[in-house]
Structure 1
Amino acid sequence: MGAFISAIAANAPTSAQQAAPPVDPNAIILGTGGVENGAAEEIWYGRGVQLAVRNVTQSTLTPVLPDKDKATGAAVIVAPGGAYRVLSMNNEGWPIAHWLADHGIAAFVLKYRLMPTPADPPAFAKVMASRMAEMAQAPADTRWPAFPPAVEDVEAALKLVRTHAADWGVDPGRVGLMGFSAGARTILAATLQATPDGMPAFIAPVYGPMNTETVPEKAPPLFAVMAIDDPLQSKTDFGLIQSWRQAHRPVELHVYQKDGHGFGAGYPGTTAAAWLDSFLLWLRMNKILPPST
C-alpha cells in the first residue's frame, strides 16, 4: 500500500512516535468551521516521511512560494491523503510543495478537516487497518464519497489564493489543484461540482479514484498518476479517463509498473519517481507554464 498507508494499517503508533505540532508561522486559518461529528484534539505522530496529523478540525493553508526570479505565476494547491482519517503531511504535502516552488510554481499546502479518530493509538490503528482492508477488498466500481468538509476546504483554499493572487505573485487564471488518494478524491469532487467561476485551471489527482463521472462542459485539463500494483486502484477500468476523453477535455494518464499506494513523489529506483518531472512538462505543453521554465 505504500510506506505511509501500510505503516498506519499495520502498526499502532506508540506514545514515543507522537510528535509535537510543527511550527508553521505562515499557516492561514481558512475559517470554514468545524465537523459535524464533533471535535477531537489534533494529534501529530510519526517521524520523517511518515509525519502525519489526525483529528483536524480547523483547516489551514500554508504558502510555499518560489523565489521571485523563478516565479512563473502558476500555482498549485496541494491536498495530502490519508482516507479522511489522517493527512500525510511529510509524504504528500510540504516536500511536494517545495519541489514545485523550486520549479517556479507557487504551492499552497492544505490541511483540511478530517473525520474524528480514537485518541488511543491501538484503537486508531485498528480503525485504519479496517478501512484500508475494506477499500482494498471492494469491487472496482465502488464509489467512495468525498468528505464534504474537506471539499468545502478545497473550495475555500482556491477562492483565497485567487483573491490574494497579487500578494503572492500568482496569476488567478493559472491556479490548479493537486491531491493524493483522499486528497485526489476531494479535488475531483470540488471540480465536478464547481461553478464556472470556481473551476480550477487544472487538476492532478495522484493515485485517486478512477470511477466514471459526468464531466462539466468546460472541465479543466487533468493529469492523473497511479501505479498498476496499487491495492486500492489496480482493479480500475480507468473510467475517469474515458469520461474526460468523451467530454473532449485534455487528459493525460501515467500508470507506473510499481510503487503501490501512497508513494508521494515516488520511491528511488522506480519509474514513478519521475512523475513530477512529467507533470512539469505537461504544464508547459498546456501553456500553464512558459516553455523556458
Structure 2
Amino acid sequence: MKLTFVSIAGLGCLCLWLFGANHVLPVAAAPVPAVKTPKGSERTVVLWPNGAPGALGKGEADVPKLYVYPATGAGVRSAVIVMPGGGYRNLSMEKEGGDEARWLNEHGVTAFVLEYRLGPRYGFPSPMLDAARAIRYVRSHAMEMGIAKDKIGLWGFSAGGHLAAYLATTNDDGNTNSPDPIERVSSRPDFAILSYARLSLDPTIPRKTSLEGLIGAHPTQAMLDTVSVERRVTKDTPPCFLFATTGDETVNAMNSTAFYNALNRAGVPAELHIFERGSHGAGMAQGLTRAPELAIYPTLVANWMQIHGWMAPEDLKSPVLLKGK
C-alpha cells in the first residue's frame, strides 16, 4: 500500500487520532530491554543523530541503529536490512541478525542489522518509523557504499518479519522538499524475506499472543486491522519469500499462507516454503537435530535471490551453510 509523504511523516500523529493514545504512545516508566550488539559489523550508524521521533531519552533503548556489514569485491551490490525478532519486546540480534548478515556477506550482498525501538517503552508506530528510516538511510547512501538503489531488501524474523512486511506494504516515495537528504528518498523495499513471521491477526488463525509489545494488551479493532499486514497487500507490494513450519507453535504457519494468498491475488511475485517439522526461532536452521531437513532453507533463499538478480550465482559457494550453528 503506497502512502503519501504526509501520511508517513505524520504517522505518529495520525495514529493518535485514529486509535487513541493508549495504543501508540510510548511508556516512559517502562523497563529498558538490554540489546546485544551483533558480532562482526564494521561500524554502527545512528539513524537519527539529533534524536528519533518521539524519543523518551538518550539511552541505548532510545536510539535506533544500523550495524553495517559491507560486502567485499568490485561492482555494485544488492543490500539487505536484517530485522531480528523478539515479539517487539526483545531483539535476537545474533541468531536473527548477525548470522544472516555474515552469510549475506559471504554471498556478495552488503548487509545491515537493524536495532529498532521496543515495547513496552515504545509502541506503534515507533518501530515502523525506525525501519522506514533504515531503508531511506541505505538508499540515500547507496552510491558511496556501492549499493544499487533498486536492489535493497528486508529480511525479517518473527516480529521482525511482521515489521518487514509492514514496510513492504506501507511505504512512500519520500519528501523531495525535506532539508534532510535521507528523508527525500523512498522507504519502499525492493524485496522482502519473511521467516516464520507474524503477518495476520485474523481471529480464525490460532495464536498465543497478539503483538502486545507493539500495540498493547487491549488494542482496538482498528489497530488490529492496521497491523494485520496481509490486509495491506497491493499490486505495489514488492516480491516476497516466505518460510515457515507447521510445527511452529508460536506463530502459526497460516500467517504465511494468508500473506502468500494475498500476494498471489494481487499478482505479486512470491515464493512460499512450509516445512512439516521445526519449532519457532530456527534462525538460519543449521544443525537442528530434530529437524535437519530445514538446513536447505538458506539455499532456497539464495536460489530465489539469484533468479531475481539480487545475488550473483557465482557468489554461491556451497549448498550447506553455517555448519555447526
2:111 is matched with which residue? 107
Query: How far off its partner does 1:267 sit?
Result: 3.8
User: Does the 8 Å contact 2:196/2:253 carry over to 1?
Assistant: no
The alignment status of 1:166 with 2:188, answered yes or no, reads no
User: Does the 8 Å contact 1:176/1:202 carry over to 2?
Assistant: yes
The alignment status of 1:266 with 2:270, answered yes or no, reads no
Deviations 1:211-249 (A, max 9, x none): 332322221110011111111223626211100000011
Selected match of 1:199 from 184, 188, 198: 188
Q: Please report the RMSD computed on the Cα atoms of aligned residues, expressed in angstroms.
A: 2.5
Query: How far off its partner does 1:100 sit?
Result: 0.4
Take 1:116 and 1:239, find their aligned partners in 2: how far apart are those partners? Answer: 28
1:61 is matched with which residue? 66
User: Does the 8 Å contact 2:233/2:262 carry over to 1?
Assistant: yes
Selected match of 1:223 from 226, 237, 241: 241
1:136 is matched with which residue? none
**Structure 1: which 5+ runs fail to align?**
1-17, 43-55, 118-145
User: Does the 8 Å contact 2:158/2:198 carry over to 1?
Assistant: yes
The alignment status of 1:77 with 2:81, answered yes or no, reads yes
Distance change >3 Å, CA 20–CA 231, structure 1 → 2 = closer
1:285 is matched with which residue? 307
Deviations 1:7-52 (A, max 9, x none): xxxxxxxxxxx8986797711101162657x55965xxxxxxxxxx
Distance change >3 Å, CA 96–CA 240, structure 1 → 2 = same
Q: Does the residue aligned with 2:68 lie in a helix, a strand or coil?
A: strand
Query: How far off its partner does 1:92 sit?
Result: 0.6
Query: How far off its partner does 1:285 sit?
Result: 1.0
Selected match of 1:27 from 44, 59, 65: 44
Query: How far off its partner does 1:199 sit?
Result: 1.6
**Structure 2: which 5+ runs fail to align?**
1-33, 174-185, 201-229, 316-325
Distance change >3 Å, CA 227–CA 147, structure 1 → 2 = farther
Letter aligned with residue 184 of structure 1: G
Percent identity for Structure 1 against Structure 2:
28
Q: Does the residue aligned with 1:110 lie in a helix, a strand or coil?
A: strand
User: Does the 8 Å contact 2:69/2:112 carry over to 1?
Assistant: yes
TM-score under structure 1 normalisation?
0.72
